[in-house]
Amino acid sequence: MNRRDFLKAVVASGCFLGAGGIRNLLQASTAKTSASVSAPLLVIVFLRGGADGLQLVGPTGDLYYVSSRPPQMRVADSADVKALILSSSLDDRLGFAMNASGSPLFDHYRQGRLAVIHAVGLTDATRSHFVAERLIETGFTSESQLNTSSQTGWLTRAVTGKHGPVSGFSAAASSMLSQHGLSEALAAPDLDGGLAVPMGDTTIKFLEKVVVQDNSIWADATARTLSILQTIDRRQPRDASGRIVPAGMGTRVSYKGAGDLARSLPAVARLASMEVGLSVSSIDFGGWDTHVSQSGTVNTLFRQLATGLAVFQEDMAIRNIPVTTVVMTEFGRRVRANKSDGTDHGHAACWFVLGDKVRGGRMYGQWPGLATSSLDNGVDLKVTTDYRLVLKEVIQASMLDVSKTFPGYLPYNPLGLMG
Amino acid sequence: MTASHDKAKPFVRRASLIKPEMNVFDTFNRLGFGAGIPDLERFKMQHIMAWLDEQLHPDDKEDQVCQKRLSELRIPIRYGKSKDWPAVDEMRPVQYLNAEPEELVALTAPGKSRSYQELQRPRVEVAIATLLRAVYSRWQLREVLVDFWHNHFNVNAWDQNIGLLFPVYDRSIIRQYCLGNFRQMLEAVAQSTSMLTYLNNRSSRTGAPNENYARELFELHTMGEDAYMNSLYNRWRQVPGAPRGKPEGYIDQDVYEAARAFTGWAVADGTRISGDEILPRTGRFAYVPSWHDNYQKRVLACEFDPYQPEMVDGRKVLDLLSSHAATAHYLAKKLCLRLVSDNPSESLIKSAAKIWKENQHQNDQIARMVHYIASSPEFLKSRGAKTKRPLELMASFVRGTGFDFTPTEALINQMAAGGQRIFGWPTPDGHPMKSDYWLGSNAMRQRWILIYGLASNQFGNGVMDPIALVLAQKMTAGTFTDTWIKRLYGRDNPRLTKLVLSSASYNPDTVITRINDARKIVTWLAMAPEYQRC
């Protein structure tokens, strides 16, 4: 069933839609179809803290894997845990499988919408969260660049020339570094409370007069905020009494079970429906810095991630808005566990790309192996795929500007991630 | 300014006319939490340097106003009943600020069950007291430094495992050493239950140490990320200076070895060590020899012999780090970033680092560097160079208006919505120091809501009556606005008066009588972009 058929079926059944729901849905679909030959929205979900890729997707048949970690920190292929074996993996002899908590994502893999990129990351040797996150979010690969270049985010550079009223959104209290320097950017943990200004229009008029008086960064921030808030607040769906209808509630899908993502993902979906020129969105999903008692934490977070992304994919399909979602993290974790039942900072990670334009159902990259001699510094999974290669192909498929995003980066061996 | 930046601006700007010289009012904004009327009156009699000297030697006994408010503080607590406890709904005095670790860990003693609200209480009390002190403490500069060090040695006390003993961390470590000696402070932090828990060192054991603390000790607490040379060198000998025993930076090998040095630095939490040997459950630091890795180590090109006496390995790491040139530079830069501007000059940083190094064995090492920075020509010409974070915005507004203020959890939540999670920043780097983080579209809007809420008592902090506060029963709107501009900005600004009154549709000659109009004017004055800087 393609998206259009699915939409028709949903409308025909009408079973989980209120009357307003159908109307909104129809509006959304008619408004969007004409324009939606357009580029997919690019959504970045950043797993903060360094997600342990080896507990998310692992080579269950690799003896080095089995011997280096206790069972609860592995993707297990045993009778009591149903392993989600990934076909077209990096090496089918090694029995690559996905953590059972990720089954909603596994379904997308089987249906060809999810790609898994393993042993991906920074070629820089850093094991610092802050340096690694900053490198990735500014689109760099070497720490020397952090001190010398102007630090715009990689997403900011990718949306060059695409300025709508709101080109970028960070579902957080503050804009993410990947959107640093983007003027037409909104940051808000969600949109449910509305974006009203205290005392309304009179305050807006006062502040608009004041900002004419000075050219400071504080006046710039005020002017920018006023412009963005008004653009969005006008477009928020409201009920009969004028109250904003909370995103992700009372409508098509339920984000229940998605943890913190149940707040951010529906906000992205709503903003994308507002036709404010949204090209990119950034979401943080934290809690992955698992130095202690790792296994339960990672399983729970991965279940929330998989649940949230699968619902989001469905939500966006109903809204008829094409989307590509990249799940990234700053680095993976140490192959061997520490004595706190956790893992310390490692190197290569596992990333995911989900969307209709993705050539999914496959793993991408090269498996470097887990024998000590194959490891980075003898302890960590080696990076065999430069993270920029993944992002470059995603940017191209999103019809964004790849030329300025990673200056000087000329990969010679494309992954072919996007169809 | 880039072209795309210009395009986004719907307004034409006039050039800023701000002069960079700091006056009394600005100094209070930067080295404190804004100027109140008593400060300005008192300060006229003193030279700024005399005030600075006094601030660097704070004494709670000479701060009766704040101490009295702390002792009279009541914080509501409310929760429903369960099978283990009755319902509670009361105003309760602070009780944990001076508590010893034993008293705090008793709250989670095995077999005892307490509500979430009771277990959050130690952290909530410290947070509320912090807001109260920011507004009322006479020792304003100490409060600024307490905030600085809490962010430098950040732990996330919103996590209950860490929040439980947070009063001890705040009182016996951050407040104790905020103007003291860095090496002493570093060891106190390393042995604090809060940090041992937050960065997991308490579970680090010989054989497979937990590197979390060791890594952040290098990167965030001492040498700083600029000294992390892992991408350049992968053998310790290659680091410049290492063959002479003076490496310029550190690599992962140093982190691994340091992690071994701190194995056995743990918490007396009732854990069974072996057989009959059980740690007492005191919540204090404990060194467990059998968890320590006794073999030889090498950190920063310095050889550690095997089987050192207890804790010598860890202490030696702290010695090496606290005396390293990179640490002096990193701490000097951070303090300049906090006290002077987002882009302090390299010459100021270098000279401040020199003061730091020269005084590394002094008990008032930190105070001396703060004194140096705060009396530098660069500081004295840095008016308006920093952005008020929600804490400074809140406190400077309360101090400037002078209304009778009571801090509340609702206010803490609103500050968090504006990007400042008091004692709840999740990652060990602490809140960002530079302006851009604080000036995003959401953060700006939340600032306006913060000011509006304070002015109209939305968070239960007290009634602000702008007419009574300036004795303005018969004032014209023009005089009223001028008076308030002077109070909140420390200077006249006739142009702003005109703008405010025209926006409020007020004739400057009309006598102001309605409290809501008066509130609106004061609220706008503090929402204006100029009020967001300090």
Q: What is the pLDDT of residues A269-288, one digit of tens each?
A: 999 999 899 999 999 999 99
CA-to-CA dists, residue B422 to A204, B77, B127, B155, B426, angstroms: 29, 19, 7, 11, 11
ipTM value: 0.93
Q: What is the pLDDT of residues B69-87, one digit of tens each?
A: 999 999 999 999 988 999 9
Least Cα separation, residue A74 to chain B (angstroms): 18
Q: Sketch the domain layout of chain A as residue ranges.
A: 41-203+250-397
Class of domain A41-203+250-397: alpha beta
Q: What is the mean pLDDT of residues B118-142?
A: 97
Residue B448 lies in a domain: yes
Parallel/antiparallel/unpaired status of strands A96-98 and A57-59: antiparallel
Q: Which of B287, B322, B357 is the last residue of a domain?
A: B322
Chain A 319-378, residues with CB within 8 Å of chain B CB atoms: 336-340, 342, 344-345, 377
Q: Are B21 and B380 in contact, with CB atoms under 8 Å apart?
A: yes
Task: Judge if B300 and B417 occupy the same domain.
Answer: no
| Residue B407 in this model has a pLDDT that exceeds 90 | yes
Q: What is the mean pLDDT of residues A225-232?
A: 90
Q: Which of B294, B322, B350 is the last residue of a domain?
A: B322
pTM above 0.80, yes or no: yes
CA-to-CA dists, residue B358 to B248, B326, B366, B370, angstroms: 19, 14, 11, 14
Specify the pLDDT at position A412: 78
B230 touches chain A (CB under 8 A): yes
Residue B167 lies in a domain: no
Q: What is the pLDDT of residues B206-220, one digit of tens each?
A: 998 999 999 999 999
| Residue A118 in this model has a pLDDT that exceeds 80 | yes
Indicate yes or no: CB of B16 within 8 angstroms of CB of A214: yes
Specify the pLDDT at position A207: 97
Task: Judge if B217 and B304 occupy the same domain.
Answer: yes
SS3 string of A224-291? Answer: HHHHHHHHHHCCCCECCCCCECCCCCCCCCCCCCCCCHHHHHHHHHHHHHCCCCCCEEEEEECCCCCC
Number of folded domains in chain B? 2
Task: Judge if B397 and B316 occupy the same domain.
Answer: no
Q: What is the mean pLDDT of residues A62-71?
A: 93
* Residue A97: strand pairing partners: A58, A85
**Which of the listed ranges B15-24, B30-39, B113-122, B171-180 does the model predict with the highest average pLDDT?**
B171-180
Q: How far apart are CA A368 and CA A375, in angstroms?
A: 8
Look at A247 and A361; give whichever has higher pLDDT: A361
A210 touches chain B (CB under 8 A): yes
Residue B527 lies in a domain: yes
Specify the pLDDT at position A18: 34
Task: Judge if B290 and B408 occupy the same domain.
Answer: no
Residue B234 lies in a domain: yes
Residue B265 lies in a domain: yes
Q: Provide the H-helix boundaries in B295-430.
A: 312-322, 325-339, 346-358, 365-374, 377-380, 390-401, 409-417
| Residue B1 in this model has a pLDDT that exceeds 50 | no
Task: Judge if B406 and B500 occupy the same domain.
Answer: yes
Q: How far apart are CA B192 and CA B188, in angstroms?
A: 6
Least Cα separation, residue B88 to chain A (angstroms): 30
Task: Judge if B394 and B483 occupy the same domain.
Answer: yes
Out of B15, B228, B426, whose CB is closest to A286?
B426
Specify the pLDDT at position B463: 97
| Residue A78 in this model has a pLDDT that exceeds 50 | yes
Q: Which of B299, B322, B345 is the last residue of a domain?
A: B322
* A355 backbone dihedrals φ, ψ, rounded to 5°: 160, 165
**What's B366's DSSP letter?**
H
Task: Judge if B525 and B425 occupy the same domain.
Answer: yes
| High-pLDDT (> 70) share of chain A, % | 87
A110 touches chain B (CB under 8 A): no
Q: How far apart are CA B217 and CA B211, in angstroms?
A: 10
The dihedral over CA atoms of B302, B305, B310, B313, expressed in degrees to the nearest 10, equals 20
| Residue A77 in this model has a pLDDT that exceeds 80 | no
Q: Are B326 and B223 in contact, with CB atoms under 8 Å apart?
A: yes
Specify the pLDDT at position B2: 36
Task: Judge if B316 and B395 occupy the same domain.
Answer: no
Domain with B394 in it: 390-532
Task: Judge if B294 and B395 occupy the same domain.
Answer: no
Q: How many CB atoms lie within 10 A of CB A310?
A: 22
| Residue A79 in this model has a pLDDT that exceeds 80 | no
**Which residues have C-beta within 8 Å of that of residue B299, sequence separation ≥ 6?**
B254, B257, B258, B261, B316, B317, B320
Residue B442 lies in a domain: yes
Of the candidates A52, A36, A116, A44, the residue with the CA atom closest to the CA atom of residue A265 = A44
Residue B366 lies in a domain: no
